[in-house]
Amino acid sequence: MLNPAVYGRVFAIASQAPTLAGATTVSAFQLGISLVPVLAAAALDAGAGITAIPWLGAGLAAITTVPVLLDSMMSRRRA
């Protein structure tokens, strides 16, 4: 659901290299898709219950808000 917004932002920032920007964005999504199951498996192997998985997702979402907010603040300063 966020892909169009992310792509729009990336292409706005990297208008001089759209192919590289698109490839990098897709790679980042694929990295996330690959790492989340690994983190979930590590949590389960460490003895956490199945209810730890949503908390892991919430934690990752919270961590992600930091760079989003920084980008937003930097964009406002440039404008």
- pLDDT value at residue 58: 92
Conformation bin of residue 47: beta by default, left when phi > 0, alpha when psi is -120 to 50: left
- Quote the pLDDT of residue 43: 95
pLDDT (0 to 100) of residue 15: 86
Contact between residue 40 and residue 56 where contact means Cβ atoms under 8 Å apart: yes
CA triple 5-6-7, angle to 5 deg:
95
pLDDT in tens, 10-26: 888 888 998 999 899 89
Exposure of 42 by Cβ count < 10 A (0-12 exposed, 13-18 middle, 19+ buried)? exposed
Summary mean pLDDT of the chain: 89
